[in-house]
Structure 1
Amino acid sequence: MAHFVLVHGSCLGAWIWRDVVQTLGEMGHTAQAIDLPSHGGETTPVNDVTLDLYAAAINRVTDADAILVGHSAGGYAITAAAERNPDRIERLVYLCAYIPEHGKSLIHLKREAEEQPLDDALDIAADRKSFRFRPDRIDALMCHDCPRGTFDTAVHLMGWQAIAPQATALTLTHASRDIPKTAIVCANDRVIPPDHQRLMARDIEHVVEMQTGHSPFFADPAGLAAHLAQIADVT
């Protein structure tokens, strides 16, 4: 039996993992989905959020031999947590995620992609310290292959995302580098281009692909849970 800590990406929350948590439980595993600071039910003001706060929030709930799963921008959060507390982490799983490179921020990595599908998809706060997905773009970008009604739920629950954590470069050491890693590439992703995902995963020893868009937890939660269970067996 494996234990998973599930970490969401930009503008999302623990709510995205509901069906995956349930399915993993039915498979005999345990899983905990968390709200990062300022997301979901967590009440930290968005302008106070840092990458360090993300890492601390993850490490507070991470017990021994946990598998950390980071979706999208959550790839940076789980790596930051691993840098600070590697001994409790069995494996890092990057789910259609930004996979950190030494000395680079998430924003830096995003700008390296040949395609920029989010250029006209975000509203930036007046103080330029946070952003959110434009409601009229959420369906096409994130819910295009999801069950009916997914957009109606997402548009009400998605919130603002602090820019500071995504503008913070990570210094990578053996603390995180020595932890086994898996990348799950989503081949129909409209948020992070699949080719960019594959490029970021070029040094990952274990890479699998799903035929979904950027929200595999909605589009194919059973398939995602099955991949995670297989990853636990690899571990």
Structure 2
Amino acid sequence: MVKKLAGKPAFLLVHGAWHGAWCFSKLVPYLERAGHVVTARDLPGHGGRARYPNTFRHRTPDEEAFAIESSPIAAVTLADYVSDVMQALDALVGSGNQPVILLGHSMGGIPITAVGEAAPEKVHKLIYLTAYMPASGVPAIAYSRAPEAQGGKMGAAMKADPARVGALRIDPRSMDLAYLANLKRAFADDVCEDEWAVARNLLSPDAPALPFATAIETTRSRWGSIPRAYIKCRGDLAIMPRTQEKFIERADEFTPQNKTEVYELDSSHSPFFSQPEKLAAILLELAAK
């Protein structure tokens, strides 16, 4: 790893649902070559810490069984996510790699919001990469049911009732070509087929439902005091552009003296796959401010 140059902030990257730290593998080298320390880790229940339903591990044509089997990660909570991110944050702060920029992609916006509220003194900047940036007291799941979410592709990707299985369940190993085409449009519409095949093989089927259903009570004096940026992805079909705009509008209404710095990419939900260099350029610009 490239040593951090004096005064340059470290990056702590938090992935989204069904993903893991692996999704940042193309992005990290750009940040490290610019002299930044970068940490990305798997959240509980994700990446190398994922756990799989038996009906997913042992492939079966029984769609009904897959749709009702309880998730082995149903007990994972937002508090578990926050504890994990805080451990990584404390390690960076303790090693002297200050300041620290906390980036969340997609679902990763939920835990970074909670961490920002819990420990604003440890966070130099919050960056939301086409991510959930929930308003105070509003659970993330509420945004998927709002009018702004219409036209998104994630609803058709769901394979089970989250209330029954305890997870948001997808099937990245499906044999249904139409289903897989929809999944690619949701996550990676501008990613080449070969790269998508690799990514799809690494996706886990379950994301715990509890973090999506847990509201975070943010305050102006804590989360609202941290400089923040939002990177909009105009071609996103997982978190629709209008939903991204709603996050920004509500946050700026909440903290009119500390408005969101907004950047845009002409990309799908996964610019770390399709446009890592352009994404890195934005992050380096934000880090230099």
TM-score (norm 2): 0.77
How far is the alpha carbon of 1:138 from its aligned partner?
A: 2.2
Determine if contact 2:78/2:111 at 8 Å carries over to the other structure: yes
Greater mean deviation of Cα atoms: 115-124 or 158-167: 115-124
CA distance in 2 between partners of 1:222 and 1:148 (Å)? 19
CA distance in 2 between partners of 1:205 and 1:190 (Å)? 22
Matching residue of 2:158: 122
Look up the equivalent residue of 2:209 and give its one-letter code.
Answer: I
1:58 pairs with 2:85: yes
Secondary structure class of the residue paired with 1:100:
coil
Determine if contact 1:102/1:170 at 8 Å carries over to the other structure: yes
How far is the alpha carbon of 1:116 from its aligned partner?
A: 4.8
1:162 pairs with 2:189: no
Determine if contact 1:51/1:164 at 8 Å carries over to the other structure: yes
CA distance in 1 between partners of 2:283 and 2:79 (Å)? 26
Look up the equivalent residue of 2:43 and give its one-letter code.
Answer: L
Secondary structure class of the residue paired with 1:46:
coil
1:185 pairs with 2:238: no
Look up the equivalent residue of 1:172 and give its one-letter code.
Answer: T
Matching residue of 1:5: 12
Is there any run of 5+ residues in structure 2 with no aligned partner, and where?
1-7, 52-71, 94-98, 173-179, 253-258
Is there any run of 5+ residues in structure 1 with no aligned partner, and where?
none
The counterpart of 1:41, out of the listed 44, 48, 60, is 48
- Give the strand-richer structure, 1 or 2: 1
Matching residue of 1:138: 183
Secondary structure class of the residue paired with 1:149:
helix
1:222 pairs with 2:277: yes
Look up the equivalent residue of 2:222 and give its one-letter code.
Answer: A
CA distance in 2 between partners of 1:112 and 1:166 (Å)? 14
Secondary structure class of the residue paired with 1:104:
coil
Pairwise CA RMSD of aligned residues?
A: 1.6
| Alignment deviations for residues 36-82 of structure 1 (CA, whole Å, 9 cap, x no partner) | 10101125751221011111111101133210000011111101111
Look up the equivalent residue of 1:231 and give its one-letter code.
Answer: L
Determine if contact 2:74/2:165 at 8 Å carries over to the other structure: no
Matching residue of 2:248: 201
TM-score (norm 1): 0.94
Secondary structure class of the residue paired with 1:230:
helix
- Give the helix-richer structure, 1 or 2: 2
How far is the alpha carbon of 1:125 from its aligned partner?
A: 6.1
CA distance in 2 between partners of 1:200 and 1:85 (Å)? 21
Instruction: Give the total of aligned pairs.
Output: 234
Fraction of identical pairs, as percent: 34
Determine if contact 1:138/1:155 at 8 Å carries over to the other structure: no
